[in-house]
A and B are shown apart, each in its own frame.
Chain A
Amino acid sequence: MAYMHIGKDFVPPDVPGKVTGRIKYAEDYTREGMVYARLLTSPVPHGRIVNIDATAALAMDGVVGILTADDVYPDGEPQSTGLKILTNEPTLVGEPILAIAAVDEKTAESAMALISLTIERLPFVLDPLDSLREGGPDAYTGGNTFVFRQGFAQEKWTSDQVTSFQNGREPSAEPQQSWEYGDLEAGFASSDFIYETAFSTAGYPHMSMEPRSAMAYWENGKCYLHGTSQSLTALAEPMANIIGVPLEDFVFINEATGGGFGQRSRAGSIPSMAIPARFSQKINRPVMMRVTREEEFTIGGARQGLQGWIKIGFRSDGSMAAMDMYCVSDSGGKGGGGDANSAAAGVSALYQVEAMRFRNTSIGTNTGHRGAQRGPGENQIMAIVAPIMDKAAEALGLDRLAIRKLNAAQNGDVSGSRSTPFTSAYMPECLEQAAEQFDWDGRKSRARQTNGSKVTGLGIGQGYHNAGRSGMDGIVRMLPNGRLQMHTGVGNLGTYSYASTSRAAAEVLKMPWEDCDIVTGRTDRHLAISSPQDGSNSIFTNTRTAYGAAQDMLAKMKEIVAMDLGGAAADYDIDGSRVYQITDNTVGMTYAAVAQRALELGGKFTGEADVPEDLNSLTALSVSRLAGSALMGIYHDPRHAGNPPGFAVAMIEIELDTETGKFDIIELVNIAECGTVVHPQGLKNQLVGGAVWGIGLSALERHLYDPQNGIPASTGFWQSKIPTYLDTPANIGTGWVDLPDPENPVGARGIGEPSMGSVSAALNSAISDALDGHLFNAAPVTTDMIINHVAGISEDAIPLAQNNFRG
């Protein structure tokens, strides 16, 4: 289908501000009378605050006030998992206990040193298996796990059960969570090749470039918060609840977010923004809270680590007949994370497993708090399964590409325990396109060839994530000057989907982009609710709402013109600036004239009547405040059917040096299957960015904690080993399948997460290939593990270790 905007590149309006430094992030703002808050954080991994004596600190010149957990939770802290605003019961080093405000940060910091803090140390644990083992310490005061609607609980295995699991055998303990489908026993019975192993994947921090600094002030009873988020409006209402201010009195200001990879999508994962808001309310001064890199590590969230056991059966033709998976998930210091479940669902979707069982137990550790991080679960497990696919292909005498094609998801397929159908799926096409662009057939003869100490490895990886939601709202307005105002609540975190999804509205109205304005950046510009911008859903979800709102506007425009010029609405069409009669295009009105006429008519045309009853509360508030201001298109998106998948395929050639354990990526292509392409440059950025993240997952990134004191050792960019220019290839090839999805009005689905899983899987596959098919069954596979393997030394000194060096 020929589109005017969809599939075309454009300059998102915030880009010039990014290259000139003009665009403002939260910490760039200032306010007259502003004071500075500093955080006093926990020095111990698990403790209970017995006493806080701040007398000397508060007596210092320049100190303005103190905010403690007792201030923010006067009725006591919630007895549940999840980050608190401030806490008297820290469960990880660095957790904020109190804040001090002063006229400058040095004074606040000096005052902090005068606070006498008495903490009762409590037992702590860094590895879930150490806690799971009978007699082991618990991460939380009430146990080592949190059961939904029941509270904290204790989960223990016998020492033999833990040791058996560490030695690679199927766990025998009852899991907390399970599901299955198909006949697992029959699946394995019909298998000609079965691979069974324990595996581990590491947790690691988000490390967004912008620390989550925030500034807040109160004015005329309203709370103004400059903060950071992935989802401007989705975050606003729950953040207002955390602060304790009615939504109508809360203004969230967030023009730009310096990176968001899951942990800034929901208010519960970033409650620290409530500190300056509550502090400002208490001391009646604007409060800036600058967050350091070390603090960002602690409260910025982390990926869950998985300790698992997996068994996969393949028939002689390569079809995956059965998979059985059991995970112990690291829930960190504050609980959270559903990675294991997503991992299992991801394997079901990607490899179309005929029979499957999933079991999981989540155990806390006194480490960084866990939650969604780019492809949570799916991207770790794909790195584990991809080399197993290669092993199966080798054992069954099949081509590595062919075995993936055989198991690939396609139109009409279903996945998961509920056999949910895909809205569309073109994985075979994606594999073929990747193979062509990579020249798989031409390159595959190079696999395992050596050149001195260097050996070539080839890898294929596939990524998947459920990539679309619905149920959100859209608002567009036409001003009497003929300009279209697209009110979007989608966050500006660097995907440019706040802009690219808005283009669906311009597309419907056939309007030149230069006649359109995106209204966003702060909630008092009256925005529509958007889905939390996580889970690769933005493109699918928010093109639906933008499109729907524009359709509502289009219907109203035709109705107005028909009312004034005669005939029925169906007798009219549009050309991007006029509504004209189809049989005589000289008869018509300009958009500007229609908008002016709408103002005269009022009622439903201007949002003053007949507003959709099922709007979300934030959208309804915005509509009520915009009512009467312009011709309005308002839309509530109904639920869609099926699972809109995001798929990606990567192919990699590496040259691995067996003397150093390092490798160079010689060639890397990353291909998307995400429906119709909305914004090619934006999609390309997701594919290259996902590739960099995939390299980090499979080769570099992991949590490290001092086992004696529970102190994090990877709080900086370099210690946590996020990939740099030199860890990634100078060129990354990209491409896309570009076939439309029927559940989206422009055919689009999301891609942010699968674009990482594909590369994490391909890289682990390539490393395994370079080492004659050795399976580490781990992510990351670091240089020390490779060297140890080459030297014949076990790379697994602490089996399945979490938050520590593996070997």
Chain B
Amino acid sequence: MYPVNPKLTRRRFIKGVIASGAAATSTSIWYAANGAERPPGSVERLIRINVNGQVRTVDVAPQETLASTLRYKLGLTGTKLGCNRGECGACTVLVDDIPSYACSILTHSVKAMRIETVEGLESANGDLHPVQQAFVEELSPQCGYCTPGQVMAAVGLLRANPNPTREEARQGMAGNICRCGSYDSYLNGVMRAAEIG
């Protein structure tokens, strides 16, 4: 129902990590992703990526995940790591408008793509994005740790489907877990955001 970027599948991610010399388990991916070593024959590390409309030059290890780059290299800590293995969606960002798990994407694989994080949604004058505003009005977050991911999933959903039914919104948000169980309030927020436009 919703677009999937064929270049950013979990299979490609794991293949990429293996190719870069790290074992394909979630725990080792975590540390490999933060690695400073330069494996023999490695690719260019100083790369340019487009984040929130700005081209950023950043030193990226071959096996580094986008979540690590965003959080630990660019200081964009709004992108959260809940599981670091593609289960929870707390790290959801938009890659070419498509909600994607940043913990399961190699930064090198998105050099030519547009990356949007929760920090890039507010307007220049500080106005909240309609999804953010709606989430405030509906008090959608509880603990808030999954919220940036929920926000980005909702933004991606509404770009693909500006007027979803509640059931479509439920399906579209299903890749994001909320342990507080605030799903009903998030869906209220999505539906209100669709109204705000």
Which chain A residues have a beta carbon within 8 Å of chain B's beta carbons?
A: 9, 11-12, 14-25, 27-28, 38, 103-109, 207-211, 256-261, 290, 292-294, 493-496, 681-682, 684-685, 688-693, 716-718, 722-726, 728, 730-732
Contact yes or no, B148 A731, CB < 8 A: no
Contact yes or no, A494 B34, CB < 8 A: no
Shortest distance in angstroms between B92's beta carbon and chain A's nearest beta carbon? 12
Shortest distance in angstroms between A279's beta carbon and chain B's nearest beta carbon? 18
Q: Could you say which residues of chain B place their CB within 8 Å of the CB of A210?
A: 80, 82, 143, 145
Nearest-CB residue, chain B, relative to A686: B142
Contact yes or no, B79 A21, CB < 8 A: yes
Q: Could you say which residues of chain A place their CB within 8 Å of the CB of B140?
A: 19
Q: How many A-B residue pairs have CB under 8 A?
A: 191
Interface status of B50 (Cβ within 8 A of chain A) = no
Shortest distance in angstroms between B176's beta carbon and chain A's nearest beta carbon? 7
Q: Could you say which residues of chain A place their CB within 8 Å of the CB of B78?
A: 20-22
Known: A25-B80, A208-B179. A18 touches B174 (CB 8 A): no
- Assembly CA distance A494 to B143 (angstroms): 4
Nearest-CB residue, chain B, relative to A680: B139
Contact yes or no, B117 A209, CB < 8 A: no
Contact with A along B41-70 (1 / 0, CB 8 A): 000000000000000000000000000000
21 A-B contacts (beta carbon < 8 Å): A17-B144, A19-B141, A20-B121, A21-B119, A21-B147, A104-B34, A106-B34, A209-B143, A209-B177, A209-B178, A259-B180, A293-B84, A685-B139, A688-B181, A692-B181, A724-B174, A725-B171, A725-B173, A728-B183, A730-B166, A730-B187
Contact with A along B130-149 (1 / 0, CB 8 A): 01100110111111111110
Q: Could you say which residues of chain A place their CB within 8 Å of the CB of B82?
A: 209-211, 258, 293, 717
Contact yes or no, B185 A20, CB < 8 A: no
Given contacts A21-B117, A25-B80, A730-B170, 20 further A-B contacts (CB under 8 A): A11-B136, A15-B139, A16-B136, A18-B147, A103-B36, A104-B35, A207-B179, A209-B88, A209-B143, A209-B145, A210-B143, A256-B144, A259-B145, A494-B144, A688-B183, A688-B185, A689-B142, A692-B183, A726-B170, A731-B166
Tell which of B10-18, B23-31, B105-113 binds the partner. Answer: B23-31
Q: Could you say which residues of chain B place their CB within 8 Å of the CB of A717?
A: 82-83, 87-88, 177
Nearest-CB residue, chain B, relative to A679: B139
Contact yes or no, A19 B90, CB < 8 A: no
- Assembly CA distance A256 to B181 (angstroms): 17
Contact yes or no, B144 A14, CB < 8 A: yes
Of the candidates A9, A20, A493, the one whose C-beta lies within 8 Å of that of B118 is: A20
Contact yes or no, A19 B132, CB < 8 A: yes
- Assembly CA distance A104 to B87 (angstroms): 25
Contact yes or no, B182 A259, CB < 8 A: no
Nearest 10 Cβ contacts at the A-B interface:
A21-B78, A692-B181, A258-B145, A18-B144, A494-B143, A494-B142, A689-B181, A106-B35, A21-B118, A28-B77
- Assembly CA distance A18 to B150 (angstroms): 11
- Assembly CA distance A25 to B78 (angstroms): 10
Nearest-CB residue, chain B, relative to A24: B77
Contact yes or no, B128 A20, CB < 8 A: yes
